[in-house]
Structure 1
Amino acid sequence: MRDGTPSNADYGTPSPRDDGAPSIQDNGTPSDAPPTAGNGTPPTEDFGQRLRRLRTRAGLSQEALSHAAQVSVRALADMERGRTRGPQRRTVQALAEALGLDEGEAAGLEGAAALGRPRPRAATGPAGPGPLALPRDIQDFTARGPALARLLDLARDAAGGRPVVSVVAGQPGLGKTAFAVHAAHLLAPHFPDGQFALDLHGMDPEPTTPRDALARLLGALGVADAALPAGTDDRAGLWRSLVGDRRVLLLLDNAADEAQVAPLLPGTGPSLTLVTSRHALTGLESVHRADLALLRREEAVELLTRIIGPDRVRAEAQAARDLADLCGHLPLAVRIAGQRLLGRPHERLGKLVARLAAEGRRLDGLQAGSLRVRAAFALSYRQLPPDSRTLLRRAALAAGADFSPETGALLAGLSHDEAVARAEELTDAGLLQSDAAAERYRFHDLLRLYAAELAETEDGPEVRDAALDRTADWMLRRATAAALHFDVDHERTAAQADPDPDTAPTGRDEARAWLEAERAQWLAALRRAHEAGRHRQVLDTADAMHWFSDINQHWEQWVEVFQRSADAARALGSRREEAVHLNYLAWAYNLCVHDPRAALTSADAALTAARDCGDGLQEGWALGYGAGALSRLGRPEEAQERLRGAARRLAAQESPQGRLAELTVLNSLGTLLRQTGRAAEALDIHRRSERICRAGIPGRTKELIALYLAVARQQIGNDLAALERWQEAEAPLRQALAAFEAAQMPAWAAPARLDLGRALGAVGHPEARQTLLAARADLAVLRSPRRTEADAALTALDRTTAGT
């Protein structure tokens, strides 16, 4: 427990996850961009549309094709009109032969037909949008027919009950993600139990760890943050157990290596996993491989045609072929060139061909093999207005996977409204991707590299550092002001002014939303301040954060935050502040990363610093945090000794902070005593906590004290139950449950309901079974390990009832 919020690990409040949609990495167009076909027809073809196009291209009438393929004219008409969406394979083969299709076109025609054939069983319930939902499909997707047909066969294999994995690999810009997203949408009906997409950020300096990826996946299945196992192996085991019998489709985009992917793969069941990577991932065994190749020239021209329309391509057919060649038949380069032409409807293709050839000489650094991808990037960049160019290159300096308009505005030196307008312009140009739900933007990773290089070459170190310093200072001031919304001393504290009061969060909900959304930015700002020696700013921010940190206890970066603040206090020579922040660090090691050895080291250092400066409050906290670490290390006697010492030290403190710390220590001591078979002593301790709460604590709100009182009463009920004084246990447990429910704290209420149900069952109360059933349901929603206790309590109750 931190000063102000009960810290027992069983009383953690679950926090919302930051479930941003995964990014698109290889296609050059944001997944949520509108269709870009300019020919007035739908940008994708069903079987009938594809058949009609191929027949027209071959110069055949329906009668002529009917004769050549031995298919009736009426049947052909029904196919082309969409009345027959999925003809049999042998019919498609006959049509392909009659049309003179090559292998790839024939496979594409068969794939379109297969999608129109009867589906597997329908889902028992709709799988609506949710965390890690598939990105929007690329509507002008082109080619890849054989590869799509092979994935359709794999989907049928998965329906047989064994998990299937397909690795989509190849050089940058081949459209691996576009292919995987398109395939996922086509195959989605075969996986009615859910489709999930997760960007693994394999090209980032710090790719997503398997542990964090598993947290996102488990969260998408409804596992509460507070119920996540600590270790990667335990998380992987839980993930596999939850999806083992489900027909799910999993898209793992932009994988770094085999070690990152392997823990995420389902072990059993009818699932299909698509993995995209710029590496071959040869270490993954028993997987299908779809190594995408460059487009053929005619396919690249077809993609260009779908983007800008057939009329312009037909008018300059040779220029279109030359443009495809200059783009190296790379889908990303073709797409960027096509989008540039789409934005200039009167520009001739020949003019772009000439300019692209000239620009290519300047962009030798970033290549895909012999392909000059940066030429297309540079053309798009140079056509932008000055402010948009500034935003593009400065936004690449932002921390994290995405950035907000305010971050872009700070880095580029623009107003918020100007930054939004420029970001939308960049999104329309295909240079940024906008979030489907929030006002946030992200780069394709190649474009981020390109933009960051521009910031280096066009802005220079001085301008770039000034932009980063300006942004870091603003972010820390906003983060400090936002975090103080959670500080119980806020009304009596001269809070650091928000840098922009007109847009500042106005309450706890808004403050929490901002702090969570901008976590990567303010943490990067804290690092920058620490590295620049701005120690007071680091301490002020960390001080403001310590109450907010209780709400998001699962964030592992609290270790970094409080390590840096402890270092800052040491650099300033303040032993009292060093003790405070070493105590915060011990808390983070204990409860955020579950490292009791490091927690004990920090707590001991805090104890030394507190005694050096004569701070009894911090000495009490240090003893308490050290006791928590010792208990977790299996050393209960030493833990009890420290807790008793902490209680004595804190009892002498007269401040409100001292009373809250004393309550924390007393509750922890009593719980430890009960767990070691000394329930009577525990009851005395928890009664003492109750008396302190009833007397009230000056300067602390009734709502805060009510939570402490509820914790004490729950522990009193458990102490009485351990003494088999079941009837006496009922009242305090009911009071605790009512308080947690009134405060809308389900993660605290569910265990209290379980404790109450067991007490009611012991006395044969008629509400016992319903209470235990409700507790089990609540704990299941939270994915709490205490659900097994509810199962055992229900089993014991059933046996008792049957015996009676």
Structure 2
Amino acid sequence: MCSGTPGTEDFGQQLRALRTRAGLSQEALAHACGVSVRALADMERGRTRGPQRRTVESLAEGLGLDEETAGRLEKAAALGRPRPRAATGPGAHSALALPRDIQDFTARGPALARLLELAADAAPARPAVSVVSGQPGLGKTAFAVHAAHRLAPYFPDGQFALDLHGMDPEPTTPRDALARLLRAMGVADTAVPPGTDDRAGLWRSVVRDRRVLLLLDNAADEAQVRPLLPGTGPSLTLVTSRHTLAGLESVHRTDLALLRREEAVELLTRIVGPERVAAEAQAARDLADLCGHLPLAVRIAGQRLHGRPHERLGKLVARLTAEGRRLDGLQAGSLGVRAAFALSYRQLPPDTRTFLRRAALAAGPDFSPETVALLADLPYDEAAACAEELTDAGLLQSDPAADRYRFHDLLKLYAAEQSAAEDGPEVREAALDRAAEWMLRRATAAGLRFDVEHHRSAPHGDPDPASAPAGREEARVWLEAERAQWLAALRRAHDTGRHRQVLDMAEAMHWFSDLNQHWELWVEVFRRSADAARALGSRQEEAVHLNYLAWAYNLCVHDPRAALSTADTALVAARESDDQLQVGWALGYGAAALHRLGRAEEAHDRLHRAARLLAAQDAPQARLPELTMLNSLGTYLRQADRPEEALAIHRRSAEICGAGIPGQPEELIAMYHAVAQQQIGNDLAALGRWADAEAPLRHALAHFEDAQMPAWSEPARLDLGQVLRALGHPEARDTLLAARDALTELKSPRRSEASAALDELPR
């Protein structure tokens, strides 16, 4: 051994010197040997003087020590391991004394109040147990320690804290934990039984009549905790764990949530001081948001700033804004968000680690096991089991009602890092391609459920017919829940040149889009499909999808200028491909845009031209666009104070529907008839014939509600509410309130019209 090599220091000094000489940080050594950063820090600081032999061997391997140096390190550890000793009297309690409370502890008032109630109600017949669980970084230990100090006056016979090292490779065994508890209660070493069951029995006997507070921190699982719980007596046990410990019976549960934004700022203020926060109030709020309101992250940010009093909060905000550097920035000494996540990640089975990594590739704020099964190349049942395991481990948050999950923002960054490190670009790209292909096929088949020419029979082409949505309602639920995923699949197909798939999916979606006009994503869907048609050189399909895009600009994002430009482009493509139906649609969508731009006469002219062109065609397919043009033209005439003309046109539209249209499904004709009835009701209202207007509007509203078409039913509800208001009907207020709230949710421009109608009601 060269001069100056550690040899005579205690274990902690030796370990720190050897780590420094090896050029390793605490985090790097912890990762290499499989212990937590906190456990390693405790060893180096002398708080843990004699770790187990297996732990020392792992440390030696991680440090790359030769046999002689490893032997000296083990000898130092052996000297620090406790020897059997008698332990009696109150002095023995200090070995398991509560850790010091954190002076800047913030929030958690309701959870703390519930624990105080639990302590006040403690009775000999039912010793209370509270499990504090949740994801890494929620401050479970800090909360439990703070609560224990607040609860101490209720438990004069002793307050004990025991770290069960649940995240270490070798968690504390129940047998060893019971020995420490018994000694802390004054049981002599010679009186401690050798077996776990006997120790548990003696422990229950010792605390049976005592008001004792026990904090079991960092529990691994139920089997570790159960033997430590008192059987009877007025005691209180607090258990913290990253796992839910759902198998523990008859326990109180404290589920800590993320801090609210103002609570996160308050914690930051207590750490760095009110002056710095007041000087950069917005930066403090931004910092809380970038930390995801996670207590550990906020504390680390605060500690980092506290150690650098000359640095501005905005500087740290700028650093954390870059997602790729955020976890690097959330490091302060031995505290690190990445290290906290790594402790849990390393304990997961291989398939569950894969699930967590690949879930970070899913689009949108949440995901289903179905999506991650595709990304991770796992059977669905295995993926669902992984999702539940990760939820129990506090690494995913489950939806209260649906079979869906989400990450905390910082944990998603960590999972993405692990995917980049462990999967590599080729594996990730293959996973994304596999998921996109499946999603495109499922979305196309589901969308066809709403196509009037296809929905009566099960669409072909679903990638897994056994799990495919069985009908229109199931298809709607799936399309709404998975819209982030199928939109991401569409983008990937578009960007990788799979133009036919893009067109097929968008075409399948165009009827479904009518049910969800408030979705702004339709602009992107039909812009990409129009691009795909152009890339394939199909001018006719380009005209079709440009018309869909003009519709989306008009009704989904309320951008009439873009709608007019797109409709004009569609008109050129339709004429070049000699598709008179698309010419008619393009004229109609252009007219709608012109009307919204205040160019009423031009709009009327285009609609007249479109209606004449379509009426001249014998094909049954021309009747639907003709009806659309007539209904729109009548609406515009009414708005131009020509209600008599409007009423005549809308009645003509209703007559066409009543006569039937060969080859068109009855339900589709019924929908167009409901549109005509809505407009007839509005025409009658414009003529002051309020009583006559009520029935056709109720008919239209009922039809749209039955069809689950909120983008259509809510404007009809508003129209009806205005008629009821004019009639002095008692339903007017409730009808208008419902319309206003629904139109606000739909982001409809008519929401202000509903508010104005409500204001005009007598108080």
Structure 1 pair 169–406 and aligned structure 2 pair: CA distance change class (3 A): farther
Quickly say closer, same or farther: Cα 1:35–1:589, change in 2 above 3 A. same
Q: Indicate yes or no: 2:254 matched with 1:139.
A: yes
Aligned partners of 1:380 and 1:613: how far apart in 2? 61
TM-aligned CA deviation for residue 44 of structure 1 = 8.6
**Quick one: structure 1 residues 620 and 277, their matched pair in 2 at CA, closer, same or farther if it must change by over 3 Å?**
same
Look up the equivalent residue of 1:576 and give its one-letter code: Q
Contact kept in structure 1, 2:517 and 2:711, CA below 8 Å: no
1:793 deviates by 7.0
Residue 715 of structure 1: how far off its partner (Å): 1.9
Q: Is the 8 A contact 1:29 1:433 kept in 2?
A: no
Partner of residue 551, structure 2: 587
1:132 matched residue in structure 2: none
- How many angstroms does 1:431 deviate by? 2.8
Compared CA separation, residues 745 and 583, structure 1 to 2 (3 A): closer
| Letter paired with 1:49 | L
What residue identity is the alignment partner of 1:433? Q
Deviation at 1:773, TM superposition (A): 4.2
| Match of residue 468 from structure 1 | 432
Q: RCO higher in 1 or 2 (8 Å CA, sep ≥ 6)?
A: 1
**Offset of 1:591 from its aligned partner?**
1.1
Taking a change above 3 Å as real, the CA distance of residues 454 and 480 of structure 1, as seen in their structure-2 partners, is same
Residue 439 in structure 1 maps to residue 403 in structure 2: yes
Match of 1:563 among 527, 530, 547: 527
| 8 Å CA contact retained: 1:579, 1:607 | yes
Cα distance in 2, alignment partners of residues 276 and 382 from structure 1 = 28
Q: Aligned-pair distance for 1:787?
A: 3.3
Partner of 1:202: none
Q: What is aligned with 1:519?
A: 483
Larger radius of gyration: 2
Instruction: Give how far 1:465 is off.
Output: 1.0
Mapped partners of 1:590, 1:454: distance in 2: 43
Name 2:582's counterpart in structure 1: 618
How far does residue 755 in structure 1 lie from its aligned partner after superposition?
5.2
Q: How far 1:364 sits from its partner (Å)? A: 10
Name which of 757, 763, 779 aligns with 2:739.
779
Structure 1 residues 50, 600: closer, same or farther in 2, change over 3 A? farther
Partner of 1:212: none
Determine the structure 2 residue equivalent to 1:168: 265
Unaligned runs of 5+ in 1: 1-27, 59-79, 82-136, 152-163, 177-256, 263-274, 282-289, 297-362, 799-804
Structure 1 CA distance, aligned partners of 2:694 and 2:401?
46
Alignment of 1:336-735 (within 5 A): 368-371=331-334, 372-491=336-455, 495-724=459-688, 729=693, 732-733=696-697, 735=699
Q: TM-score, normalised by structure 1?
A: 0.55
Q: CA deviation at 1:640?
A: 0.7
SS of alignment partner, residue 486 of structure 1: coil
What TM-score do you get using the length of structure 2 for normalisation?
0.58
8 A Cα contact 1:607 1:623, kept in partner: yes
Distance in structure 2 (CA, Å) of the matches to 1:435 and 1:758: 39
Count of aligned pairs between the two proteins: 502
Change (3 A) 1:50 1:413: same
Aligned equivalents of 1:705, 1:757: Cα separation in 2? 26
What is the deviation of 1:407?
1.0
Contact preservation (8 Å) 2:515, 2:708: no
Task: Answer yes or no: is the 8 Å Cα contact 2:395–2:407 preserved in 1.
Answer: yes
Conservation of the 8 A alpha-carbon contact between 1:170 and 1:278 = no
* Structure 2 equivalent of residue 331 of structure 1: none
Match of residue 277 from structure 1 = 289
**Secondary structure of 2:288's partner?**
strand
Compared CA separation, residues 497 and 141, structure 1 to 2 (3 A): closer
Query: Could you list the per-position Cα deviations for residues 381-406 of structure 1 after superposition, in whole angstroms to 9, with x for gaps in the alignment?
Result: 33322212221222211111222111
Deviations for 1:36-86, whole angstroms, at most 9, x for unmatched residues?
89xxx999949973433588469xxxxxxxxxxxxxxxxxxxxx99xxxxx
Aligned residue identity for 1:510:
E
Q: Report if the CA contact (8 A) 2:469-2:475 is conserved.
A: yes
Deviation at 1:656, TM superposition (A): 4.0
Provide the secondary structure at the position in 1 that maps to 2:589: helix
Residue identity opposite 1:770 in structure 2: P
What's the C-alpha RMSD, in Å, of the aligned pairs? 4.4
Contact 2:448 2:508 survives alignment (8 Å): yes
Q: What CA distance in whole angstroms lies between the structure 2 residues aligned with 1:567 and 1:175?
A: 54
Contact map agreement 2:133 2:140 (CA 8 A) in 1: no
> Could you give the per-residue CA deviations for residues 127-160 of structure 1, whole angstroms, max 9, x where no partner exists?
xxxxxxxxxx993769x9xxx9xx9xxxxxxxxx
Judge which range, 552-561 or 48-57, deviates more: 48-57
Pick which of 650-659 and 637-646 moved more.
Answer: 650-659
SS state at 2:370 partner? helix
Contact 2:355 2:383 in 1 (8 A): yes
What is the Cα deviation at residue 508 of structure 1? 1.6
* Cα gap change, 1:294 to 1:587, in 2 (>3 Å): closer
Deviation at 1:175, TM superposition (A): 13
In the alignment, the residues of structure 2 paired with residue 787 and residue 260 of structure 1 have an alpha-carbon distance, to the nearest angstrom, of 39
Deviation at 1:714, TM superposition (A): 2.8
Cα pair 1:578 1:606 within 8 Å, conserved? yes
Query: Alignment partner of 2:524: what SS?
Result: helix
Supply the distance in 1 between the matched residues of 2:605 and 2:706 (Cα, whole angstroms).
Answer: 36
Letter of the structure 2 residue corresponding to residue 411 of structure 1: L
CA distance in 1, matches of 2:707, 2:482: 27
| In 2: Cα distance, 1:461 partner to 1:493 partner | 41
Stretches of structure 2 that go unaligned for 5 or more consecutive residues are: 1-131, 161-209, 212-251, 273-280, 304-325, 745-750
Q: Which amino acid aligns with 1:276?
A: A
